[in-house]
Amino acid sequence: MDTTFSAVANIIKNRRTIKPSTMNGNKIPNAHIASILELADWAPNHGNTEPWHFIVFEDPKTYSEQHAELYKAANPGESFNQTVYTNLSNQFGGASHVIIPYQKRGDLPKIPQFEEVIAASCAVQNLLLGATALNFGAFWSTGGMVLKPTFSEHFGLGAEDTVLGVLFLGYTETQPEGKRKTPIEEKITWNK
């Protein structure tokens, strides 16, 4: 196979989910973050709507504190759980940056929103592959308040915008082994 294909295949096959608790706290240069965001900008999309947008936190602690306060505000009285609040406050672990990717609905109503979400998700995959190529870990999370309307409102998103999760990025010495439960041959149906 061609060396370009081999290099791309290697990056794809070596991308892993790395939890923030295993990140070492060293700072990723903002220029590297900008570079992987530029890769995200080259995702495929229908109608050139480019529906991907990103909120970047240079200080992950700021993000985690806001997340915890959103949880606290949404869970008054007996529904409030101090352990959940504390965990959200410290969720950033040793991450360097936190990025909130979201799909921003464009002005072409003929394009179904699910296509916009798919395009924005492709942008996230580009970002994750870029992170792998630059040797830092990434964790894509949808926990806590992330998928709640309160979260979107807090960050000023519109009614038709969709948060795709939260990405924690950082350096790590951890590299879990990759595996698949089902062989690819069982996932493909060839037709003639």
Average pLDDT over residues 68-91: 96
For residue 106, the model assigns a pLDDT of 82
pLDDT tens, position by position, 124-173: 999 999 999 999 999 999 999 999 999 999 999 999 999 999 999 999 99
Among 132, 70, 127, smallest CA distance to 102 is for: 127
For residue 107, the model assigns a pLDDT of 85
For residue 119, the model assigns a pLDDT of 97
Average pLDDT along the chain:
95
For residue 188, the model assigns a pLDDT of 97
pLDDT tens, position by position, 6-26: 999 999 999 999 999 999 999
Q: Does the reported pTM lie above 0.75?
A: yes
Instruction: Round to the nearest angstrom and report the end-to-end CA distance of the chain.
Output: 25
**pLDDT grade, residue 112 (50/70/90)?**
very high
The sign of the CA dihedral 64, 65, 67, 71 is positive
